[in-house]
Amino acid sequence: MLQTVVHGCIDIPYVTAEQSMLFSLKKKELPEQTDPPSLPIVELFPSGEFPEGEIQQYKDDNLWRTTSEEKRGLERLEKPVYNSVRRAAEVHRQVRKYIKGILKPGMLMIDLCETLENTVRKLVSENGLEAGVAFPTGCSLNSVAAHWTPNSGDKTVLQYDDVMKLDFGTHVDGHIVDCAYTVAFNPMFDPLLEASREATNTGIKITIDCCTPIADCIQRDGDRVLWDILLRVEVHDWAVDKLRALMERLYIVLIIRDLEGNLKALGIYGRLRSTLTESGIDVRLCDVGAAIQEVMESYEVEINGKVFQVKSIRNLYGHSIGPYQIHAGKSVPIVKGGEQTKMEEGEFFAIETFASTGKGFVREDLECSHYMKNFDVGHIPLRLPRAKQLLATINKNFSTLAFCRRYLDRLGETKYLMALKNLCDAGIVQVCWIVTFRIETIFRVFSSWRASIENFFEYHEMTDDRRLRFAKIKLVGLAQMWCYGLEGHIRRLELPWINKWLAMKAKLQEKYMPFRYPITDCFVKVCEQHVNSRPISNVFEECMQRLDAISL
């Protein structure tokens, strides 16, 4: 028991020599994190209280949530949940710091992912569904926007000119922390990274916590609001559109020149402006998207001497997060014009921004590496015993958390692809498709098609006529796939032709068949769009060289 000596109005604790020595020993016993990190977070914080992150205080009409005893009582009831999230967040922070220190060109992507995930497992004290990795590590490169992780045996290497989106998550008791950042070694991409970082910070901070009460206030005092105040606002201020939208709700707008009217109008305007720049509850998700787009698209980036405007990806979103549910139903857009859905009290959100030098649109690839059990699925009868066995493994180890084939391999599962496909076809497991831009998809399909012809000719003795017919069939199928899939959208880009494609087209015509399909337009426009991109140029030159080596 500590003895206390009263000194004035301040209680100063009096500590004996024995107690002082005991405290110093306890302080020395507290461990520090190793390098590389290996100590569980619970050992670094034996009190069970984990560090708090940045807290945005309530403002204006939501300030009562801070002073209300009832609200503070409800907050205390949520303390175990917040503490679980903070534990997962501290794990994420330490792993993120460690990985940033070891990242370098030349690393195998699979080694990077396994190092990261194993570090998470150590620090979070992995224990079945109580704590562990929340979803597979996404390490999407270049024009792959999201949801790519290497499968076992993948030999992809991180290059100096790559732009990698590193996305990983941790969870404690199902409370998920989802955080991602972009890595680029070439300083040429720094403006692109800065645009995404600033847009993300804007999305976190820009909310409208009391827009509706103020709108009602303006509507009641519509005859006192000055229209010319709006006309004097900077045209670059994204809040102008919001203010004008509110003004449209007024029945009558009069220009009042008296001092009292001006002061009242300025006061209303000031309150409304403050709500557009502070955090709180009841934010409309469309307003978050508008703010993100405004910041994102104010940046430009110069790549190989060509200047590109940074654009927000209009069909990628942030999302709400629930217990054991990475996508809980609400989407946070990163462009303006979204739905009027509001953030509600007690919800968790991942504000995710995607910056691009392209057209601001992505598509789902034909490949997948992430899987996840459907959160709302009921009982579905399965006929394959192997599918039932695999589902039991998924329920035991992942429940509704995302997983990948590497995770199944780690659990000792073998020959499970047919069973996994059966679960996907039945709707029990949903596929998280890899999200890419069109350029690499087209070149990858073309390269795989050419390689398949080479391998077929290598292992089968064929006459020249049979080889020609085989090549024609492959070309027809490939051209039809492009024509009905990707080429239609790329045609709308209206980009000019390039001379290098004409040379490739001539070689194809000479070796295989007369070109009668719109595949040519597809390649022409894609190559022109990315002619200054070094990785794509390398692929193009490789295509030319390997094409020359083919003999019929």
Cα-flanking dihedrals φ and ψ of residue 12, to 5°? -105, 120
Q: What letter does residue 188 receive in the DSSP assignment?
A: G
DSSP 3-state assignment of 13?
strand
Q: Is 327 annotated as a binding residue?
A: yes
The DSSP line for 76-127 is HHTHHHHHHHHHHHHHHHHHHHHHHHH--TT-BHHHHHHHHHHHHHHHTT--
Which one, of 396, 394, 389, lies nearest residue 404 by Cα?
Answer: 394
Those residues with Cβ within 8 angstroms of residue 108's Cβ, 6 or more apart along the chain or in another chain: 155, 156, 157, 158
Q: Is 352 annotated as a binding residue?
A: yes
Cα-flanking dihedrals φ and ψ of residue 80, to 5°? -60, -40
Rg of the chain over Cα atoms, rounded to whole angstroms, equals 29
Q: Where are the alpha helices (DSSP H) in 373-434?
A: 385-397, 405-410, 417-425
CA 45 to chain centre: 30
The DSSP line for 153-164 is T---B--TT-EE
Q: Is 460 annotated as a binding residue?
A: no
Distance (Å, rounded) from C-alpha 329 to C-alpha 29? 45
Q: Which helix (H) or strand (E) holds 170?
A: strand 163-172
Distance (Å, rounded) from C-alpha 481 to C-alpha 385? 36
Q: Is 319 annotated as a binding residue?
A: yes
Those residues with Cβ within 8 angstroms of residue 171's Cβ, 6 or more apart along the chain or in another chain: 88, 124, 131, 132, 133, 134, 177, 324, 401
Query: Euclidean distance between the first and final Cα of the chain, in Å?
Result: 92
Q: E strands along 291-428, which residues?
A: 300-303, 306-309, 311-312, 318-321, 331-332, 348-350, 355-356, 363-373, 402-403
Distance (Å, rounded) from C-alpha 120 to C-alpha 99? 11
Q: Is 228 annotated as a binding residue?
A: no
Q: Is 370 annotated as a binding residue?
A: no
Q: Where are the alpha helices (DSSP H) in 282-411?
A: 285-296, 385-397, 405-410
Distance (Å, rounded) from C-alpha 326 to C-alpha 43? 27
Those residues with Cβ within 8 angstroms of residue 206's Cβ, 6 or more apart along the chain or in another chain: 276, 277, 287, 288, 291, 292
- What are residue 372's DSSP bridge partners? 402, 430
Distance (Å, rounded) from C-alpha 508 to C-alpha 523? 13
Distances in whole angstroms, Cα of residue 520 to Cα of each of 445, 454, 491? 14, 22, 11
Q: Which helix (H) or strand (E) holds 532?
A: none
Q: State the binding site for substrate.
A: 147, 327
Q: State the binding site for a divalent metal cation.
A: 167, 178, 319, 352
Q: State the binding site.
A: 147, 167, 178, 319, 327, 352
